[in-house]
Chains A and B, each alone.
Chain A
């Protein structure tokens, strides 16, 4: 006997498993840890700038390996950082479209909130852009999401129903509202990083 809720639950778990396959942990020697994701199979790791506190943070891969990382780019204005670890054949996260996202779209956030490994929360896209009501002063583009983010989620991926990354979870503005840096801003950041 199967019903639509069971199908839905199974598919949600599958989407979460796919997202977890590319989720890493970024830790510093002393001051806390955050989340990150595998950007390329050759060892490029994406996270928030505010998660990286030192020149060689440690990245814990999904398979449990702990590797020292070098900081390739660090952009406090966009709150993004690119790290590199010596590894290859890693499962890079598939990318989604953050520019044509519509309110109501189902999303998951995966990360390590309060240090709880690989935890997931679900919700919907509230909206996006540079004119979000509680962040009008920031002059930055945000994807606002109606889901729970907590310390430790920072740097982790926001993914859609197909497990594609839409953004990097970055802030919480309320108990059940958070903001992510959209993936098209990540691309800007990477273009700027390679030009420098």
Chain B
């Protein structure tokens, strides 16, 4: 008799059914709609930013073939999150898991609603790891990866665990080719920022830069082979006000090495403080110490 297998199958179906009401369709692009997660019963919907091609004329498809208008509260491309308000006050918000409870190897279902019905794929949590920075400079509190198939239209939908809780919001855009989920702390932080009318703060220097190799002697002294050559300084930007000039090569900012643009994005990724931070640069072949007050840039 196949008791366990049938019970597993029934439990998977039940898990989908339990989360179904909290999974919505987001109509915000010309081709296939994407998915969203009900964040609060009064109409807040979190979804994937990259699948939102327009900011007007949005609508949200709910369980039971209901469709309501929605407005955009804000978007944060760096974490691939967008926040909508659907014109409905009787929604079912899904419970979320804190990342420290998420375990590698756990069974998870990726859910989406690109059409009228909820769809599901099954996999496991492939990786639960430390905070990471997206290519666009977004700070994500934990790295969560699944092997569950990201079916067309699944971005913005939930990754759900066996206890019918959301492990994260699925995005197929943050790391191309991989199913990555954005965990609760990050969603909470971005939602709070977007709701307060702020866009998500991110440090801003006002430079265009490229990685260049350092002269060997300097490289040995600093313990890094590359620095960031400034090719453009925006007028009146924090870099300009800190008297940085085109041709400077930055090697450290706020105690962190700057070896490539990713390093710079990482340092600038957090919310900037008001105090000047130390900066090490190469000008005219010699090392100099300076300070710069990192500005704040939205989005």
Contact = CB atoms under 8 A, between A and B. Distances in A.
Contacts of A134: 152
A105 B109 CA distance: 11
Contact of A7 (B4, B17, B118, B151): B4
Interface stretch (B8-16, B234-242, B279-287): B8-16
A97 interface: no
A176 B1 CA distance: 29
B218 interface: no
Interface residue range, chain A: 20 to 34
A126 B2 contact: no
Contact of B121 (A8, A102, A126): A126
A104 B16 contact: yes
Given A104-B120, A133-B32, A133-B153, A124 B3 contact: no
B149 A11 contact: no
Contacts of A12: 5
A52 B21 CA distance: 44
Contacts of A99: none
Main secondary structure of the interface of B (DSSP, over half): mixed
B99 interface: no
B15 A104 contact: yes
Contacts of B156: none
A174 B120 CA distance: 15
B8 A8 contact: yes
A129 B114 CA distance: 13
A60 to B, nearest CB: 27
B174 to A, nearest CB: 19
B218 to A, nearest CB: 47
A64 to B, nearest CB: 27
Nearest to B32: A133
Nearest to B9: A106
19 contacts: A7-B3, A8-B5, A11-B5, A103-B118, A103-B119, A104-B13, A104-B14, A104-B122, A106-B12, A124-B120, A127-B118, A129-B117, A132-B115, A133-B114, A144-B119, A146-B120, A146-B148, A160-B9, A161-B5
Interface of A: 4, 7-8, 11-12, 14-15, 102-106, 123-127, 129, 131-134, 144, 146, 160-162, 174, 176-177
Interface of B: 1-6, 8-9, 12-17, 32, 109, 111, 114-122, 148-149, 151-153
